[in-house]
Every structure is written in C-alpha cells, then in structure tokens.
C-alpha cells in the first residue's frame, strides 16, 4: 500500500550565536519580555527551541532587529548541512574573520562570491529574497509575472530580484504586507527571516523518520531511498544526501542540493518539477526509467556535466556554466543562465527553445528542426543545421548561424544577426521614442509668491512606457513612469519658491524621457524651460531681516480693548513665519501654536523646526489684566468635548495646554445649559487666563491639533 506524505514542522539542529552581543543561553522562551505578544511568536519560539535564535542578557529577543548577511548565511549553511568549501583567500578574506567558516561554505553553495564585509552588511528584504531563492534553488527561468501586479512597490527591482520574489511566492515563503507592498528596499528583521524560512521548509527529516503525514516542505538528509511515496509539498535533499533513489514516487517538487553525488535514479516515478544542483563534479545521466516522467527538469547551480535522457518534457537551465547533452525529445528548453553549452545527440530533439532576456554567452548546437525559437539576451549563439519554423530575435550580439534555414523570422533588434536564409522576414524593430514630439510650456515671468507650473506635452507614433524625469540644477526633483503614444498627453511639474535677497531668479527646468528598446538601446528625449522669477526689493528684505523681525515682535497687549482694533492690527504672515523660525522653536508634532498676546491671535504653523509655515490664524481673547495668560512654552495636553460646566457658565470644548493649571483653549462663555452665549467678548484680554476662541476655531483646535504640540505664549 502506498504511504501518503503531505508536506509539517522542521527541526533545525542549528545553534546560532550572534557575536558582539552578550547573550543568555539558559533562560526559557517565556522569560523574554518582547515576544509574548509579538506577531511571530510561534516562529520565534520554534527558532529559539531549535537554536536558530538566542536571546540577550537583558531578557529580550529583539525580534524586530535587522539581521546581517553573515547571520543569514550561517543559518542557511547549517540548515543545508553544507559540506564543501571554497578557500577564504579566493573570497578576499584573511582567514581570521569570525565568519570565515560560513563564508567558505556559502561560496561553495554559490550564495556569495566575495566574503568581505559580511558581518557589517544589513540585508535589504530584496537581498534576503535572493539568498533564500538561491539556497533552495527555487529560481524559475521564465516566471509568470502576473502575481507581481498585486504589489505597488516593485517598479525599481532588477529581473533577478523579481524572479526570486515570484519563486518564493510560488512555494509559500513570501506573502507581503496588508497594504499590497513587499518593501524590498527595507531591512528584514530576525522574526521576518525565520518566519519565511519556516514557511518554505518547516520540517527536517531522514527517510526513516517519514512516518507521519506532513503539511509543509521537508528537508531530507543522509541516505535517500524513497519508495512508494506521494509528496504534495516540496522536498529538499540537503548537501549530505547520497545514494539518491526514487521508486514509485510522486512529487510536485524535489530539489537536489547534494554535494556528495551527481547521480539520481528514478524508476516508475512521476515528478512535476525536479531541480538538480550541487553535485560532486562528476558527469552524470538523468534517465527516468520504466513509467517515470519528469515534467520540468531544472538544472541550477550544479557541478559536473549532465546528459538528459528518458521521458522529460521541459528543460530549464537557470545555473551558470552548465554542459548538457540532450539525448531525448524535449518539448521545450528555456535558458536564463550564463555560459552554458547545450548539444544534441542523434536521438535528441527540441520543439521549442527560449533564451530569456537575462541569458548570455550560451551556445546551442542543433541538427534537427525546431518549431519555435525565441532568441533574446546577450551574446548567445545558436548553430542550426535544420529548419527553424518561427524565429523571434531580440537582445544584442546574439547570433543564429549554421547550414539550416528559417521559415518566418520576426526581428525585434538591429543588434543581433541571422546568418540563415529566411523565407519571410517581419521587421518589428523597436524604434522606441526616436520620433517623439515634446514641448514644455512655462510662464516667461513668475510674479512674486506665485506657484510655478510647467507642463510637458508629449506624443509618439507608437505607444511606449517611459521613465520621465524633471531635473533642476542637475538634481532629479520628480520621477515617474508614463505611457507616451499617438494621442497627445501631458504631465506637470509644480514648484513653490522660498524667496531670498540674492537668489538666482533665472529658473531652468530640464524634462527628459528615458526609454530602453527591446535590443538594449537607451534613448533620451528632452526639452528645457526657463522662467524669470520676480523678487522683492532691497527695502523689503531689510524690513524682514531676522534682526528687524525679532525687534518688531513684542509681547504685552498694545490695543484699546476693542474688537475693531484687534481686527485691524496684526503681524503679517512673513513676520510671523520669520519670527518662529528665528526663535528655533520645535514641536513633537507637525504643528506649532503661537499665542500672540500683543495682537490677540492664535497662529498655527505646520512643518518642523526651522521650517515652520503659517497655516491658520484665529482671533482670540487672552487673560485679562491681573489674570494674564502667562508667557512661556507649553504643550497641548488633555481635551474634553463637553468642556467645563458650573452653575453659572459652560465652555466647550476644552483643550488644555499647561498641565497642572486650568489654562486651556475654549469657547466663549455660554449659559450652563449651553443654549446661548452670555459673554461673547473677544479680541482683547478678557478671560481668567485661558484663551477664549470662536466656536468653529476652537473645535478645529480640538479635532486637528495633536497632543504634545508645542504652544508658545508671547
């Protein structure tokens, strides 16, 4: 009877010590103060129990601390039981570094090529994705990128990073955040890394331990003879695996990482995907026997020549420098790596061939007809002595030569060549934006204080997606992607200016479109606009010098205790802005409030220290003589929607700004039932020390101004 094994929890026999820290090894997991309510508590506890993460002597696990590249590589090498090494000297190391053992092993797994600086480098999430994908050999040659459309922050990723993300998403290691982002440029924490690791492979077993159903990926070590097994989740054979034999095995994915053997025997087995990597450098033959079938055979980072025979439908070559002989009839060959050589025996044939845009310096020798050939990438060479039914030629410096012929050739590049005769040639060269129409419109003169708007109007004969940049003084100030096509379109740049006495009034903006054709040609189209900025007079700048403003602004009420006087007298906006910035006031929030006693105003600023800008100004009434509002610097504290009520009055809402006192912003005086105003005095010192405000104004303060906002009374 066939035993069903469904890939569940994987015990890493790993002890991982973070150096340069004081650690504790004896505490139980429950004693650490920062993990009980952490989102990854189950993964953290498992990692702690299995020795992957250890705690610190201050009784914390620091699960949200960034993890370094050396720490990640140490975990991966121990998880895979890496055996081989590459000498430290070849990695730029002296051999005395604490992580030299890790570096030598990681290089043997093709995870790194340079060992310098590993302990200091904090990984980005994209770096971690690449390392995990390479360690588990999950990278696909030509992945479907449709799942990436669900995320909003992946535009700037390289193709290998995108492929790594797609591979991890496919096999369960990567899910992303609730706001549809993956944050690839952000750091990855200790908790996030071990969580991803457990999602990919939560179990580690020997073959004899496969006695119960599993619900996740499994790492298998040592002697690997699998018989009568069904795996519905990934199986990873680690670096110690040897004597690899599969009899009557059905699996969705098997990854071979063995460094002890290059051979694997398959008999009456059905594998959806088999990935070969590692190897001991010897030549080997993959030849499914009996009723065996491999739907997709992937050759990754593997050592040794390989011959492919038997029932294999699709061959992917993702590793570099592979030498492969095809001795069977393949439906499809896809190459994404670098420097591989593919030859066919008399029994070998390939119906469809694709060299991806990331492939380079590969060579294929063909003697039989090919239905479809997609030749992309760089410096790939195909020698064909048979008929190619359809050819799609892209990339640069690729070459199709030999004694064969092509029936229909679609040419997308001018930088690659076809030396074979073609019955029909379809020129689909990407002309890019060579005929784009581009013009900028901007005012010749910009009046003082106005916002500058510059509009780019664009048209191109063919629809192309381009990078658009606005550049001022050699610096890119705005960048986005836009589609330019036969219909006229526009994009704008908006700029506000901070006026200074000796500023450059000749403002110039460069707009440029950037596009890379399918054969790698980089194209640029640009236009320039110049606007003259009107500036204030010398007398103006003298009147608004820092010294003049500081002397002009005073405290103490200066009016005649009437509302009309208050409405006519106030500092202008520029004086207020210069004053608060010259005084170098700061706030814990993005708001700052200045209560001006002299002019009975509440001035609300937005920004930060040294960069405050006036956003609101309210007419108020401060403390009357004898109950003056005290001058000082305070912070917004508690607030009450129902305000204060006595048997004589009600004011609401109330927003306190001097804790330990009764000072607050509040409304004018209402009757106790809050039905009518009994004292509407405002615009001059009239209160018992609080700041009396109009209803709409104080409600704005109540709803908008955050706690801890700085309040200056002066």
pLDDT in tens, 332-358: 999 999 999 999 999 999 999 999 999
Section 274-292 average pLDDT: 93
pLDDT at 13: 33
Question: How far apart are the C-alpha atoms of 612 and 606, rounded to whole Å?
Answer: 6
pLDDT at 154: 85
| pLDDT over 70 (residue 8) | no
Query: Could you tell me if residue 347 is left (phi over 0), alpha (psi between -120 and 50 degrees) or otherwise beta?
Result: alpha
Question: How far apart are the C-alpha atoms of 300 and 252, rounded to whole Å?
Answer: 17
Burial class (CB in 10 A: 0-12, 13-18, 19+), 234: buried
Q: Which two tokens stand for residue 110?
A: 């093709």
Section 297-312 average pLDDT: 95
613-634, pLDDT tens digit by residue? Answer: 999 999 999 999 999 999 999 9
Paired with 409 in beta bridges are: 391, 425
| pLDDT over 50 (residue 22) | no
26 pLDDT tier (thresholds 50, 70, 90): low
| pLDDT over 50 (residue 15) | no
**3-class DSSP state for residue 358?**
coil
Q: Which two tokens stand for residue 539?
A: 């007398």
pLDDT at 173: 72
Question: How far apart are the C-alpha atoms of 484 and 370, rounded to whole Å?
Answer: 37
**3-class DSSP state for residue 559?**
coil
- N-terminal to C-terminal alpha carbon distance within the chain: 89
Nearest partner of 275 among 82, 79, 111, 134, judged by Cα: 134
Q: Which two tokens stand for residue 259?
A: 């460094």
273-281 contacts: CB < 8 A, separation 24 or more? Answer: 273/297, 273/298, 274/298, 275/137, 275/138, 275/300, 276/300, 276/302, 276/306, 277/137, 277/301, 277/302, 277/319, 278/109, 278/239, 278/302, 278/303, 279/303, 279/304, 280/304
Q: Which position has the higher pLDDT, 568 or 15?
A: 568
pLDDT at 1: 31
The whole-chain average pLDDT of the chain stands at 91
4 pLDDT tier (thresholds 50, 70, 90): very low
Q: Which two tokens stand for residue 47?
A: 């990692």
Sheet with 399-401, strands from edge to edge, namely 284-286, 306-308, 323-326, 341-344, 363-366, 381-384, 399-401, 417-418
Nearest partner of 30 among 41, 19, 39, judged by Cα: 41
pLDDT at 165: 93
Section 286-306 average pLDDT: 95
Question: How far apart are the C-alpha atoms of 301 and 134, rounded to whole Å?
Answer: 9
| pLDDT over 80 (residue 609) | yes
Residue 604: φ, ψ to 5°? -105, 125
Question: How far apart are the C-alpha atoms of 15 and 13, rounded to whole Å?
Answer: 7
pLDDT at 9: 36
Name the pTM for this structure: 0.66
Whole-number percent of the chain with pLDDT over 70: 96
Place of tokens 């590459």: 86
Q: Which two tokens stand for residue 280?
A: 């001991």
The answer to whether residues 174 and 196 touch, using CB atoms and an 8 Å cutoff, is yes
115-151, pLDDT tens digit by residue? Answer: 887 877 788 999 999 999 999 999 999 998 888 888 9
| pLDDT over 50 (residue 10) | no
| pLDDT over 70 (residue 2) | no
146-174, pLDDT tens digit by residue? Answer: 888 889 888 778 888 999 999 999 887 78
Section 636-661 average pLDDT: 94
Burial class (CB in 10 A: 0-12, 13-18, 19+), 421: exposed
Q: Which 8-state DSSP code applies to residue 378?
A: B
The answer to whether residues 7 and 203 touch, using CB atoms and an 8 Å cutoff, is yes
Section 416-443 average pLDDT: 94
Could you tell me what percentage of the chain is helix, strand and coil, using 3-state DSSP and rounding each to the nearest 5? 15, 35, 45
pLDDT at 627: 96
Non-local CB neighbours of 313 within 8 Å, separated by 6+ positions: 293, 294, 295, 296, 330, 331, 332
Section 507-522 average pLDDT: 90
How far, in Å, are 80, 93, 198, 226, 680 from residue 201 at the CA level?
A: 11, 32, 5, 19, 72
Across 294-298, 323-327, 431-435, least confident range: 431-435
335-342 contacts: CB < 8 A, separation 24 or more? Answer: 335/141, 335/359, 335/362, 335/364, 335/380, 336/139, 336/141, 336/142, 336/163, 337/362, 338/362, 342/317
* Helix or strand holding residue 235 (H, E): strand 235-237
């Amino acid at each position: 009877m066939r035993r069903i094994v469904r890939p569940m929890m994987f015990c890493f026999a790993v002890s991982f010590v973070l150096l340069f820290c004081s650690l504790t090894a004896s505490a139980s997991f429950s004693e650490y103060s920062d993990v009980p309510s952490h989102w990854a508590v189950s993964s953290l506890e498992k990692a702690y129990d299995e020795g992957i993460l250890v705690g610190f002597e201050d009784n914390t696990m620091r699960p949200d601390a960034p993890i370094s590249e050396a720490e990640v590589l140490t975990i991966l090498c121990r998880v895979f039981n890496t055996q081989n090494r590459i000498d430290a000297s070849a990695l730029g190391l002296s051999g005395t570094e604490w992580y030299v053992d890790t570096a030598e092993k990681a290089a043997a797994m093709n995870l790194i090529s340079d060992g310098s600086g590993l302990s200091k480098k904090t990984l980005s999430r994209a770096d971690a994705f690449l390392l995990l994908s390479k360690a588990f050999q999950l990278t696909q040659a030509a992945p479907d990128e449709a799942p990436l459309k669900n995320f909003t922050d992946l535009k700037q990723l390289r193709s290998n990073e995108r492929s790594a993300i797609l591979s991890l998403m496919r096999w369960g290691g990567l899910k992303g955040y609730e706001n549809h982002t993956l944050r690839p440029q952000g750091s990855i924490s200790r908790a996030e890394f071990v969580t991803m690791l457990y999602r990919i492979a939560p179990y580690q077993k020997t073959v004899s331990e496969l006695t119960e159903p599993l619900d996740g990926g499994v790492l298998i070590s040592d002697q690997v003879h699998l018989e009568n097994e069904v795996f519905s989740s990934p199986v990873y054979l680690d670096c110690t695996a040897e004597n690899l034999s599969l009899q009557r095995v059905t699996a969705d994915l098997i990854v071979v990482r063995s460094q002890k053997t290059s051979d694997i025997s398959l008999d009456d087995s059905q594998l959806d995907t088999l990935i070969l990597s590692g190897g001991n450098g010897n030549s080997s033959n993959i030849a499914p026997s009996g009723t065996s079938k491999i739907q997709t055979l992937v050759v990754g980072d593997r050592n040794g020549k390989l011959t492919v025979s038997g029932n294999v439908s699709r061959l992917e070559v993702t590793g570099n420098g592979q030498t492969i002989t095809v001795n069977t009839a393949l439906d499809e060959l896809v190459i994404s790596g670098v420097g591989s050589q593919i030859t066919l025996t008399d029994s070998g044939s390939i119906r469809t061939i694709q060299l991806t845009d990331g492939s380079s310096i590969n060579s294929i020798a063909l003697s039989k007809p090919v239905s479809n050939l997609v030749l992309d990438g760089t410096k790939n060479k195909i020698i064909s002595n048979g008929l190619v039914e359809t050819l799609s030629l892209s990339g640069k410096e690729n070459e199709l030569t030999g004694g064969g012929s092509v029936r229909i050739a679609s040419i997308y590049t001018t930088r690659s060549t076809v030396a074979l005769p073609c019955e029909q040639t379809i020129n689909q060269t990407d002309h890019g934006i060579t005929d784009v129409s581009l013009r900028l419109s901007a005012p010749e003169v910009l009046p003082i204080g106005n916002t500058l708007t510059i509009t780019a109007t664009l048209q191109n004969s063919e629809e192309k997606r381009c990078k658009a940049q606005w550049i001022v003084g050699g610096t890119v100030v705005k960048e986005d992607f836009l589609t330019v096509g036969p219909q006229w379109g526009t994009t704008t740049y908006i700029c506000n200016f901070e006026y200074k006495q000796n500023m450059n009034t000749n403002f110039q903006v460069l707009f440029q479109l950037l596009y890379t054709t399918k054969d790698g040609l980089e194209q640029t189209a640009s236009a320039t606009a110049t606007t003259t900025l009107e500036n204030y007079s010398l007398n103006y700048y003298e009147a608004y010098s820092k010294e003049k403003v500081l002397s002009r602004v005073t405290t103490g009420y200066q009016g005649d205790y009437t509302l009309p006087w208050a409405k006519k007298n106030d500092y202008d906006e520029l004086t207020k802005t210069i004053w608060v910035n010259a005084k170098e006031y700061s706030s814990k929030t993005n708001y700052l409030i200045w209560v001006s006693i002299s002019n009975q105003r509440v001035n609300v600023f937005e920004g930060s220290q040294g960069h405050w800008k006036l956003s609101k100004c309210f007419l108020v009434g401060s403390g009357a003589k004898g109950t003056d509002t005290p001058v000082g610097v305070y912070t917004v504290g508690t607030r009450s929607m129902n305000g204060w009520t006595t048997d004589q009055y009600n004011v609401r809402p109330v927003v306190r700004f001097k804790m330990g006192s009764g000072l607050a912003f509040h409304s004018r005086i209402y009757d106790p039932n809050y039905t009518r105003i009994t004292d509407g005095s405002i615009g001059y010192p009239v209160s018992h020390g609080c700041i009396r405000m109009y209803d709409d104004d104080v409600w704005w303060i109540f709803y908008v101004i955050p706690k801890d906002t700085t309040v200056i009374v002066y």
